[in-house]
Amino acid sequence: MTVPESPAGAGRFDRLRRGLRRTREGILGRIGSLFRGSARSEDWSGELEEALIQADLGPRAAAQIVQAVKGAPGSTQPSWEGVREAARRVLRDILTSGNRTPPKGSVTPPRVVLVVGVNGGGKTTTAGKLARRFQGEGKKVVLCAADTFRAGAGEQLRLWAEQVGAEFVGHRPGADPSAVVFDAASATLSRGADALIVDTAGRLHTQDPLMRELEKIVRVVGRRIDGAPHEVLLVLDATTGQNGVNQARQFLDSARVSGLVLTKLDGTAKGGVAVRIVQELAIPLRYIGIGEGPDDLIDFDPDEFLEGLLPSAA
């Protein structure tokens, strides 16, 4: 198995734009076809609402956008530009209103980040990408494979560590995850590393033993490193759309999640789900995944995201 490289040289916004292509084209196609040209359907507002819901923006945002269009000048025969601007206003309000408080910012190193979520969502990949980012900032990182259940998860993380130049701590499959975390915390301290990133097993919120194991990991790392974990990132797969939001909600009830990561925004037309996540979950969306490569994790920036989703000139 190899870790794919990101396309070199592409700027951050270009990469975001490319990642959001399918979502953007879906939105522009659906809504544009209703309002470009001169004829309007009698039920344009119902069709607009439906198109927005299909773009995974969620019923609340869809209703708000329809209201905004109805309240705008020329609302009996709205123009494409009018609809686009009304939608952008509403989306900007939603995207910028989310709780953006950064997690415990001034932590004395080492900083401990736990990556949680269901299997296949992109936890291991996100842990690797985060390690790459921290290493790129000149920090020394330890990657810990606490997913001792899934065959191959440890090996996958070890490859990431090798590629990004991070230290790797893992045990054999089936080992006690808390014991791995304990060892990784000790290694982090003894080597004077700046960050410890822990990849946990893909737990379903309904799987009680797995939730208890996560709690144990939290306790163990907290006893070893002051204030740890400093951040618990819940990884959500954008391709699951609405299901991902429901899943997150249940997850938030049980884990001490401090931030969200939305992965696989590239290659899906369901990227509008980010709007829904920001609007409906009271946890900041911190990062978005726009590819499988090490540099394909970017900070979630509301204005940039909006421009990638529904450009001001389109």
Distance CA 157, CA 147 (A): 10
79 binding ligand GDP? (CB under 6 A): no
291 binding ligand GDP? (CB under 6 A): yes
| Minimum distance from residue 79 beta carbon to ligand GDP (Å) | 36
| Minimum distance from residue 82 beta carbon to ligand GDP (Å) | 34
Question: Smallest Cα–Cα separation from 15: which of 271, 286, 308, 236?
Answer: 308
Toward ligand GDP, which CB reaches closer, 35 or 305?
305
Going 264 to 269 to 275 to 281, the CA torsion angle's sign is negative
Within residues 3-42, the interface with ligand GDP by CB under 6 A covers: none
DSSP per-residue letters across 281-300: -SS-EEEEE-SSSTT-EEE-
C-alpha torsion angle, residues 203, 125, 23, 241 (rounded to 10): 0
* Cβ-based neighbours of 258, under 8 Å, separated by 6 or more: 103, 231, 232, 233, 283, 284
231 binding ligand GDP? (CB under 6 A): no
**Of residues 125, 148, 247, 279, which one binds ligand GDP by CB under 6 A?**
125
Q: Strand 141-145 vs strand 167-170: parallel, antiparallel, or unpaired?
A: parallel
267 binding ligand GDP? (CB under 6 A): yes
Please give the structure tokens belonging to residue 34. 């209703």
> Are the CB atoms for 169 and 184 separated by under 8 Å?
yes
| Minimum distance from residue 26 beta carbon to ligand GDP (Å) | 17
240 binding ligand GDP? (CB under 6 A): no
173 binding ligand GDP? (CB under 6 A): no
> Are the CB atoms for 218 and 102 separated by under 8 Å?
no
| Minimum distance from residue 146 beta carbon to ligand GDP (Å) | 11
264 binding ligand GDP? (CB under 6 A): yes
295 binding ligand GDP? (CB under 6 A): no
263 binding ligand GDP? (CB under 6 A): yes
Toward ligand GDP, which CB reaches closer, 135 or 200?
200
The stretch near ligand GDP (CB under 6 A) out of 7-15, 75-83, 112-120, 275-283 is 112-120
Q: Note the residues at the interface with ligand GDP (CB under 6 A).
A: 117, 119-125, 202, 263-264, 266-267, 289-292, 296
